[in-house]
Structure 1
Amino acid sequence: MPKGGVAYFSAEFGLDESLPIYSGGLGVLAGDHIKAAADLNIPLTGVGLFYSKGYFQQRIDEDGAQQQLYPPIDPDASIYPVQLVRDAEEKPLVIEVTIDGRQVYAKAWSVQVGSVTLYLLNTDVDSNSGEDRRLTDTLYPSDPNVRISQEILLGIGGARLLAALGIQPDVWHMNEGHSAFLALERIRTLSAEGVPFETALEAVKASTVFTTHTPVPAGHDVFPIDLIDRYFSHYYWQLGTDRERILSLGRVDGAFNMTRLAVSTSSKVNGVSKLHGEVTQDLFHRWMPYIPRQDIPVDSVTNGVHIGTWLADGMKRLFDRHLPSGWAVRTQERDVWSSVRDIPAAELWEEHQRAKSEMVRELDLPIDMSGDGPLIIGFARRFATYKRALLIFRDLERLARIVGDPQRPVCLVFAGKAHPADGPGKELIQKIVELSREERFKDRVHIVENYAMDKAKKLVQGVDVWLNTPVKPMEASGTSGQKAAMNGVLNCSVLDGWWVEGYNGRNGWAIEGATDTSADLQEQQDSDTLYRLLEEEIVPLFYKRGERSFPMEWTNRMKESICSLAPVYNTHRMVSDYWNNIYVPATARGRRFVADQFEVASRVAAYKQFIRGHWSAVHVRKVDILDDHSSRIGLNKVAFRAEIELGVIWHKDVRVEAVGSDGRRGIWKAKLDPVQQLAKGLYVYEGVAPSVPIDIWKANVNVRVTPVSPDFASDFEMELAAWGGVPCPS
C-alpha cells in the first residue's frame, strides 16, 4: 500500500484549456503546483472534482452582455489523458458519501501529470438520482445546497477515495477552504478506531496544512448553521463528540466558515505573498482579538508559475541557445538567468515581435502589425469590481489622447469572465464593449471573449505591457504578471500581491496604490499615476528608437524583468519552499503525533483541555513600569514588574511578556521571568524592555500571559491570552 507523500486537495485544477475544470487563478495555480511537483519528483497526489460541464464558455453578444454556455467535457479531448479509475477487479471504483440524508455515489477519474496522479470525483453515476448526477456539473454553483454538497464530496469523498486506493499521505494540503471537511472525515476514521475526539483532532491537525488565497471576508465560503445541521446531523456523533464542539471549529459570527474550519484543523497556515500574509493576519485577528495581528500564526509562500507551461516556444528556443544547459530544470538559480543579459537585444526584440504577431493572428485581433505594430497593453483576469478594469477609463479624454496619437499609437486588449452570478462584473464587460465602439477608441480598445488558458498564453507572451490595477491590498498574489514577466513583457501594476516583492524600479512600473484614503480618492490618485506613467515613461520609452530599428532601452528593461523575476516567481521555487518549509516539518510532526498509540497527540489534547478548563482563573493582577529604577533583573533600564495569578496552571506552562507598539505597525516584546511566589498560584514576574520608544506610555504597553508547550506548532496555537488592565496592542 502506498504510504507517505502529500495529498493536495483543491476545488479546481487548471492543467490545460482542453480540460476546463478551473475558473481562474486558483485552479491554474493548483495545476502549476502539481506540474512543478512532478518536475521535482516530489511525492504528491492531487484530489479534486471532475466537473462534467466545467466552467462556462463565454460568449459576448452584440450588446456586450456575457452569455454562459455549458457544453459537456469530452475526457478524451484533453492532452492529459483522463482515465476511469478501476478497482482490483477492473470494475469502476465508486465511493459513497451521505448528502442530505441520502447516499450519493461518485466514480473517480485519474489524470497523470508526469509522476503525479490527479484524482477527480464525479457523481454522474447510474445509481444516483438525476439531481445527484448533476451535482458535479459545474464549478462554484450559486445554490448553497449544491455548493455544500460539492464540498462534502471533495473533502469527505476525497479522503474516502484515498483510503479506497490505499494511499496514506503524510501531509494533507488544503488549497483554500473548499476541501476543509476532509479534516472531519479523518477524525471520523480515527474515532471509528477508538481514538478519542480531542486526540484525533490533534493527530489530524499535526499533519494538515492550509493555504488561503482570499484577502477579503466575502471571499470565504460561509454556510448558515441550520444548513450545516441539515447536512451533518447524521455525522456529528460519528466523530466522538457533540454538535457544539464540531460547530466550534468553524463558527464565526453565527455562521459556519470553511476557512475557520481549515485554520482550526491545520498546524500550518500560509498566505500566497508576503503582503497577503499580513492581510490574512488582519482578517484572522477578528477571530482572535486577544492576539496582536503581528502574532497571528500565518506564514507566506509567494506564488509562482510553471515556466514550461507559460513560456512562448520562441523564447524557449532563444533561451536554449543562450542560457546554460539544463536551464529548464534549474529555474531557481539566479546565475542561470543572468545569461539573459548577454542575449543580443535585437534577437530578444525579434522574438517578442514574433510572439506579438502570433497573438494578434491567433486571437483574431484587428490590429495593424505593420512595422513593429502599436504598443499593446494587456488586461486579462476575472472581471470582479475590485480588480478595477475600468480604472484606465476614468478620464476618457486623457486616455483618448494617449491611445490616439498617430505617431505613437497604443492599443488596449481586455479579456476575462465574470462569475455568472456577478452582475457588477458583467456590467464591466458591457461597459468596455460600449467604449470600444466609440469613434475615439475604435481600433484602439479590444475585448477577447472566452478567456481560458490557451488565450492567456498568447496574451502573456504577446502584449508589450501587462496592466494590473486592483484595489490594494485585495490582490492576494496574482500570477498573470509573473507569466508575462518571464516572456519579457513588462508589468505596470499596483504595488499589491507579488509585485510589492518583485518590483525593483527597473523591471517594470509601479502604481503606488495608497490605502489610507477614501476609495474614490484612491481611484483618482491611481488613475492619475497610471496616465502619467503612460504619457511620460511607458509610451516614450517604447517608441524611443534612435538610430536602431528597435527600442534598446525597452529591451534592456525586458532583460531586467526576466533576470530579476523569472528565478523567483516560478513554481519550482514555490514548491521547493512548500517542501522544505511546510511539507517536511508537517511530515515529521504528523508522524510524531501518531507514534506509540498517539502518545503525543493524546498528551497535547489533555494539556489543552486542562488549560482551557482553568484559563478563566489566569489574571494579570498588577503591572508596574519601573523607568530608570533598579529591579532584580537590571539597573537603570525600563523594567516591568507584574503580579500574575495562574491558579492551578504551572508557571512553566505559560509565557509572560511585556508587549508594546513600535509605532510602525510592529510590536516589541520583553520576556518576564518569575522572581517570587507570593502565594499558591500567585507569582511576581520581572523583565527588562528591549530598545523601546522614549515615551514608554505612548507605546501602548501591556503584559500578557499565553499558554506554551514544546509540542505546539506555534506560540499562539491555543488562541488564548490574558492581558493586564490597559489596552493590548492591535
Structure 2
Amino acid sequence: MTTIDLLGYTPDSKYNTSVAYFSMEFAIDQSLKIYSGGLGFLSGSHLRSAYELKQNLIGIGMLWKYGYYDQVRDRDNNMVSTFIEKDYSFLEDTGIVFSVPVHSTTVKVKAYLLKPETFCSAPLFLLSTDLPENDEVSKSITHRLYDPNEATRIAQSIILGIGGGLLLEQLNITPDIYHMNEGHAVPLNFYLYSKFQNLEEIKKRMVFTTHTPEVAGNEEHDYALLKEMSFFYHLQDHEVKHILGLEGDKFNYTLAALKFSGRANGVSKLHGEVAREMWGAYDGICEITSITNAQNQHYWQDATLAESIKTGDQQGITARKKEMKSLLFKEVANQTGKLFDENVLTLVWARRFAAYKRADLLMHDWDRFLALLKQTEHPIQIIWAGKPYPEDTGANKIFNDIISKTKSFANCAVLVGYELGLSDLLKKGTDVWLNNPKMYREASGTSGMTAVMNAAINLSIPDGWIPEFALDGENCFIIEPASKDLSEADRDVKETANLMDVLEQKVLPTYYQQPEQWNAMILKAIDGVIPEFESARMAKEYYEMMYDKTDLS
C-alpha cells in the first residue's frame, strides 16, 4: 500500500506484503450489525488478529443499512424477522464517492472507514449505495445482507467486487494480494482483467477462501442475467467463457474464483479434502490447500477465567464458570421466564440455523428425549439459539417447532437475537457445546473453539475442525457417524441414538460423578485449542501459505 494514512495503524515490517481482504460480512462488534453467521465471525477474528500482529491488511466490506435482520418474537412467542435501520456514529465518512455500473444504471457508492482503534481491528472500508443521488432500486443494494431478490444479490456482489476495486484505485492503494473470502467478490476479477488484460497477471495477485460444501453457498446465476447486470464489467459473456474455459448457461462463483486465483484454501483439513473432491475434476483451477479457521482469544475468552487458567486455579475456574452461567441464565429468564440452575449441566446448540445442522436431532426419538428431560439423577438444561435465513421457510419452521415442543419444559429454552453478544453469553455460560451436522457438510464450525476457551466441552460429530482437535473422552465427546451406506433418514436415526448414548452414558455421568475428570477435560481442551485454534495462528498461516508472492509470481 502506498499513500494511504492508516490512522495510526503502522504495519510490522515482517508483513511487507500488502493485502486487501474482501468479505460480504464482518462480525467486528455487537454494535456493528453487518454479519449473518460463521463467515462474518471468521472474518471478524481475522481482522482482530491482523490488528494485533500489525499485519499489512485492510478489509473491504459492505455497510448494510438494515443489517442481516433483527430476530424477535411475535405475540405467540414464535420467532420472526424484522428490519430496523442502523446508524453508526463511529464510522468515518471518507468523503469518497465513485460510480459503479450496475445493469443500465450508474450507481453512486460511498466509502466509510472503521478505524483500527475503534474496535481493535485492521482498517475496514465499508461501501454503501444508500445515497440521495441514487434511485430507490440502487439505494436498496446495500439495504439487506443476502437480499432474497436475485438481481439485488448479484448487484451486491458487483458493488463488493468491482466497487471494492474502484475504491482501492480512489485510495491510491495497489495491494500485492487480493483475498476473496468466499466467492461473493468474484466480479473484482473482471475489474482487474480490464487493467491487466491477462488471466495469469490476475492469478499472481488473487487468492480465494471457500467456506462451504453446501450448494446454496456456491452461488450461480445465468450468464444472460449476469451480462445484463454488468457483472462482467466490460467483458461479454462469451469472452468470460473463453478466458476461463467455462461452458454451459450457469456461471458458478466458486468455480470462477478457483480459475482466477493463484491459490485457494478450504477452512479445515477435512474441508480441504472435500473441496478438492468437489472441484478437482475441473480444468484450470488453482491448488486448494487448507488453513483451518480459528477465533480470536482476546475477544472471546473471559478475562477472569483466563487468569485462573493461567495460574492453574481450579477453584477459581469453577467459581467463574458458575458466575458466567448465572449471567447467561439471566438472559434465559428475561426472554423465556424460565429460571435455570447454575449447578445443573447446561447443553447449548447455537449457530447459524440451517436444516443440515440438525438443531432438532436431540428430539428425533421423542420418547427418549422426554425421558432425558424428566430424569432427576443427572439433570440437564438445554438451550437453543441461531439465525435462520429469513426466507428459509424450512429452517424457520424447525426453529419455531423447537419453541413449540419445548415451551412447557422448565429446563428447555430457545433464545432469539443470536448475534455476537448472545453468542458470547452462550459460549461462556454453557457446559457442553453440541454440534451435530450431517457429516461432511460442516466446513469448519468454529463456535466450538470459543466455547472451549470458556471452559466448555464439545459434544460433536467429527466434522469440520473437530478431527484436528479431538481426543474422545479426553478433551471432548465424539458422536459416532452412521455408515455412509445408510439412507439419509436412517443416518439421522442412527446418529440420534449415538448422540443420546454418549450424552446419557458418558457426558452426564462424567459431569456429576467424576468432577475431577471433567475439570481435567476442560484444561486439556483449552490446551488443545490455544494456540492451535487461535486466530493469530490462522492470520500468520495466510501470510505464509497464501500471500507469499514468490509462489504466485
**Pairwise TM-score range, normalised by the shorter structure:** over 0.9
Cα distance in 1 between the residues matched to 2:513 and 2:313: 18
2:295 alignment partner in structure 1: 305
Superposed displacement of residue 478, structure 1: 0.6
Q: Does 1:482 align with 2:449?
A: yes
Superposed displacement of residue 313, structure 1: 3.1
1:567 alignment partner in structure 2: 531
After superposition, residues 261-280 of structure 1 pair within 5 angstroms as: 261-280=256-275
Superposed displacement of residue 368, structure 1: 4.3
Cα distance in 1 between the residues matched to 2:448 and 2:232: 46
After superposition, residues 106-145 of structure 1 pair within 5 angstroms as: 106-113=109-116, 114=120, 116-145=122-151
Q: Does 1:25 align with 2:25?
A: no
Q: Does 1:576 align with 2:540?
A: yes
1:147 alignment partner in structure 2: 153
Q: Secondary structure at the match of 1:509?
A: strand
Task: Give the letter for the 1:532 counterpart.
Answer: D
2:255 alignment partner in structure 1: 260
Query: CA-to-partner distance for each residue in 1:686-720, whole Å, 9 max, x for gaps?
Result: xxxxxxxxxxxxxxxxxxxxxxxxxxxxxxxxxxx
Which of the two has higher C-alpha Rg?
1
Kindly indicate whether the alpha-carbon contact (under 8 Å) linking 2:259 and 2:286 is maintained by their aligned counterparts in 1: no
1:700 alignment partner in structure 2: none
Q: Does 1:56 align with 2:62?
A: no
Superposed displacement of residue 123, structure 1: 0.6
TM-score by length of 1: 0.70
Q: Does 1:180 align with 2:148?
A: no
1:536 alignment partner in structure 2: 505
Query: CA-to-partner distance for each residue in 1:260-279, whole Å, 9 max, x for gaps?
Result: 11111100010000110111
Q: How many residues of Structure 1 are paired with residues of Structure 2 in the alignment?
A: 532
Query: CA-to-partner distance for each residue in 1:495-523, whole Å, 9 max, x for gaps?
Result: 00001111012101111223342111211
Q: Does 1:557 align with 2:515?
A: no
Superposed displacement of residue 219, structure 1: 1.8
Q: Does 1:230 align with 2:228?
A: yes
Superposed displacement of residue 184, structure 1: 0.9
Q: Does 1:166 align with 2:172?
A: yes
1:508 alignment partner in structure 2: 476
Cα distance in 2 between the residues matched to 1:367 and 1:217: 39
Kindly indicate whether the alpha-carbon contact (under 8 Å) linking 2:293 and 2:444 is maintained by their aligned counterparts in 1: yes
Cα distance in 2 between the residues matched to 1:252 and 1:134: 32
Identity of aligned residues (%): 32
After superposition, residues 677-692 of structure 1 pair within 5 angstroms as: none
Cα distance in 2 between the residues matched to 1:369 and 1:347: 22
Kindly indicate whether the alpha-carbon contact (under 8 Å) linking 2:102 and 2:231 is maintained by their aligned counterparts in 1: no
1:717 alignment partner in structure 2: none
1:247 alignment partner in structure 2: 241
Q: Does 1:381 align with 2:347?
A: no
From 345, 354, 361, the counterpart of 2:314: 345
Q: Does 1:467 align with 2:434?
A: yes
From 405, 411, 418, the counterpart of 1:451: 418
Cα distance in 2 between the residues matched to 1:244 and 1:588: 32
Q: 1:115 to 1:56 in 2, by over 3 A?
A: closer
Task: Give the letter for the 2:163 counterpart.
Answer: G
Q: Secondary structure at the match of 2:115?
A: strand
Q: Does 1:361 align with 2:330?
A: yes
Task: Give the letter for the 1:486 counterpart.
Answer: M
Superposed displacement of residue 445, structure 1: 1.5
Q: Secondary structure at the match of 2:346?
A: strand
2:488 alignment partner in structure 1: 519
Q: Name stretches of at least 5 consecutive residues in structure 1 with no aligned partner.
A: 86-91, 191-196, 323-342, 546-550, 593-730
Superposed displacement of residue 286, structure 1: 5.0
2:12 alignment partner in structure 1: none
1:94 alignment partner in structure 2: 97
Cα distance in 2 between the residues matched to 1:281 and 1:156: 28
Kindly indicate whether the alpha-carbon contact (under 8 Å) linking 1:380 and 1:415 is maintained by their aligned counterparts in 2: yes
Q: Does 1:413 align with 2:411?
A: no
RMSD: 2.0
1:14 alignment partner in structure 2: 27
Superposed displacement of residue 61, structure 1: 2.5
Q: 1:62 to 1:534 in 2, by over 3 A?
A: farther
Superposed displacement of residue 95, structure 1: 1.4
Cα distance in 2 between the residues matched to 1:360 and 1:353: 10
Superposed displacement of residue 351, structure 1: 1.5
Q: 1:581 to 1:234 in 2, by over 3 A?
A: closer
Superposed displacement of residue 220, structure 1: 1.0
Cα distance in 1 between the residues matched to 2:248 and 2:320: 55
Task: Give the letter for the 2:368 counterpart.
Answer: R
Superposed displacement of residue 251, structure 1: 4.2
Query: CA-to-partner distance for each residue in 1:153-203, whole Å, 9 max, x for gaps?
Result: 10000000011001110010000000011111011123xxxxxx3xx2211
Q: 1:250 to 1:94 in 2, by over 3 A?
A: farther
Runs of 4+ in 1 over 6 A off after TM superposition: none
1:84 alignment partner in structure 2: 93
Task: Give the letter for the 1:567 counterpart.
Answer: P
Superposed displacement of residue 57, structure 1: 0.3
Q: 1:447 to 1:252 in 2, by over 3 A?
A: farther
Kindly indicate whether the alpha-carbon contact (under 8 Å) linking 2:190 and 2:232 is maintained by their aligned counterparts in 1: no
Kindly indicate whether the alpha-carbon contact (under 8 Å) linking 1:542 and 1:554 is maintained by their aligned counterparts in 2: yes
Task: Give the letter for the 2:380 counterpart.
Answer: V
Query: CA-to-partner distance for each residue in 1:72-126, whole Å, 9 max, x for gaps?
Result: 11112xxxx31111xxxxxx21011111121100111000234721000001112
Superposed displacement of residue 366, structure 1: 4.8
Q: Secondary structure at the match of 1:471?
A: coil
1:218 alignment partner in structure 2: 216
From 97, 104, 119, the counterpart of 2:107: 104
Task: Give the letter for the 2:43 counterpart.
Answer: A
Q: Secondary structure at the match of 2:212?
A: coil
From 371, 375, 387, the counterpart of 1:401: 371
Kindly indicate whether the alpha-carbon contact (under 8 Å) linking 2:263 and 2:286 is maintained by their aligned counterparts in 1: no
Superposed displacement of residue 367, structure 1: 5.1
Q: Name stretches of at least 5 consecutive residues in structure 2 with no aligned partner.
A: 5-16
Q: Secondary structure at the match of 2:229?
A: helix
Cα distance in 1 between the residues matched to 2:475 and 2:337: 29
Cα distance in 1 between the residues matched to 2:278 and 2:76: 39
Superposed displacement of residue 559, structure 1: 0.7
Q: Whose strand fraction is larger, Structure 1's or Structure 2's?
A: 1
Task: Give the letter for the 2:381 counterpart.
Answer: C
TM-score by length of 2: 0.92
Cα distance in 2 between the residues matched to 1:176 and 1:360: 36
Q: Secondary structure at the match of 1:383?
A: coil
Cα distance in 1 between the residues matched to 2:468 and 2:177: 29
Task: Give the letter for the 2:420 counterpart.
Answer: M
Q: Does 1:204 align with 2:202?
A: yes
Superposed displacement of residue 524, structure 1: 1.3
Task: Give the letter for the 2:314 counterpart.
Answer: A
Cα distance in 2 between the residues matched to 1:432 and 1:251: 44
Kindly indicate whether the alpha-carbon contact (under 8 Å) linking 1:225 and 1:255 is maintained by their aligned counterparts in 2: yes
Superposed displacement of residue 60, structure 1: 2.7
Cα distance in 2 between the residues matched to 1:217 and 1:53: 26
